[in-house]
Amino acid sequence: MTAPARPAAEGDGAPIPLARPVVGEREEELVLTTLRSGQLSLGPLLGDFERAFADRLGVGHASAVSSGTAGLHLALRAAGVEAGDEVITTPLSFVASANAIVYEGARPVFCDIDRRTLNLDPGAVGAAIGPRTRGLLPVHIFGYPADLPAFERLARGHDLFVVEDACEALGAHHADGPPVGARGNLAVFGFYPNKQLTTGEGGMVVCPDGAAKARIDSERNQGRAPDMSWLDHDRLGYNYRLSELACALGLAQLERLDELLAARRSLAAGYAERLSAPDRPAALDGLELPCPDAGGDRRSPFAYVVQVPAGADRDAAIAALRARGIDSKPYLPAIHLMSFYRERFGHLEGELPVCEDVARRSLALPFFPGLSDTETDRVCTALAEALAVCSA
């Protein structure tokens, strides 16, 4: 593996970033070959990447797009969402999952999350279904599989669609067998540089049938007709295309995906071992770690997100980590309490207490293949020091 050079070391070591893409000679080879080909968009690698990704997941159809956000937008359109509809989703996610609903004039209805998995709570979803509910948009948060069997039962019972936000979950598996994204629903993956697989920017929509793929393929390309007639645009479309350079990078990353996933799982296990060890510093008491796999569900670690002990000042801990050369982030704010969603939909603090507590306490630690044991030790030591000075 090769990685960008780090800044010069100061103090107790070079700064450790929150995330870093892992690219090597094969990625460079395919990208350079594509550059030299002279065909940088709508070329053969687009179809090659789509087929390779679909084969990897064991599905029939996939459409590459410019981002996970673009994929969510097109998937919701393909599912039939319309202005005035309601789509039930989670408040603990990157904001794109809710924004994509708003793009079509629909309303995201936020339900609280499960305290263990941090995924959308099926019981809360069932209670929230109403006459204007059109569909469900669960998110596999931080790579842990959401309870899709429960959501699919609710969808069948109420004639609703399911669109899966699997942007953080490539490589995860459900207890009842299929990989995340391969259950027959529209499902969206994201390929930002911090994801399990990166194309720089990019995403993929897994489609349940050829008709859905044909629609998404057209709408990602300005609504162009299926025969690609240059001036024949038979529907509203967008510029959500993925470049040939990005597809080249994606193909190289797919070739080494097992290696990248194994490195992430090893790193997550290393963090868990250090942070839960019997002889860990007392400042780590009360720290909540990502839930372990249970019941046959298997996480594909996207990030390593802990929740600081009750009473600790999370934001002060982030500042203390930064002073020690460790990058961290408050993953993730509660979407319903963001200013846009408060003002647009009238949300108030206290509506979703589990999510709000988790959002106040969540902290993402550096997490990427190539993070060394020495660096992991340093992160854990710095976290203990930060919490020692930031606890009430």
- Residue 295: left (phi > 0), alpha (psi -120 to 50), or beta? left
Token pair for 122: 């099926």
- Residue 42: left (phi > 0), alpha (psi -120 to 50), or beta? left
Residue 336, C-beta contacts closer than 8 angstroms, at least 6 positions apart: 91, 110, 342, 345, 347, 351, 352, 355
Token pair for 47: 């179809």
Measured in whole angstroms, how far is the alpha carbon of residue 348 from the centre of its chain?
Answer: 26
Question: Do 208 and 61 contact (CB within 8 A), yes or no?
Answer: yes
Omega prior to 245 cis, within 30 of 0 = no
**Continuous H helices in the chain:** 25-37, 44-57, 68-79, 96-103, 122-128, 148-158, 210-219, 244-255, 257-275, 314-323, 339-345, 353-361, 373-390
For residues 152 and 185, what is the distance between their CA atoms, to the nearest angstrom?
Answer: 9
Residue 29: CB atoms within 10 Å: 12
For 64-113, the DSSP string reads: EES-HHHHHHHHHHHHT--TT-EEEE-SBS-THHHHHHHHTT-EEEE--B
Question: Do 334 and 318 contact (CB within 8 A), yes or no?
Answer: no
Token pair for 304: 């390593």
Q: Strands (DSSP E) along 156-220, which ranges?
A: 161-165, 186-190, 203-207
Residue 265: CB atoms within 10 Å: 17
Q: Is 195 a catalytic residue?
A: yes
**Which residue is catalytic, options 20, 107, 173, 195?**
195
Could you tell me the CA-to-CA distances from 269 to 9, 224, 260, 261, 274 in Å, in that order? 27, 47, 14, 12, 9
The residues pairing with 65 across neighbouring beta strands, listed in sequence order, are 203
Q: Which residues are catalytic?
A: 195
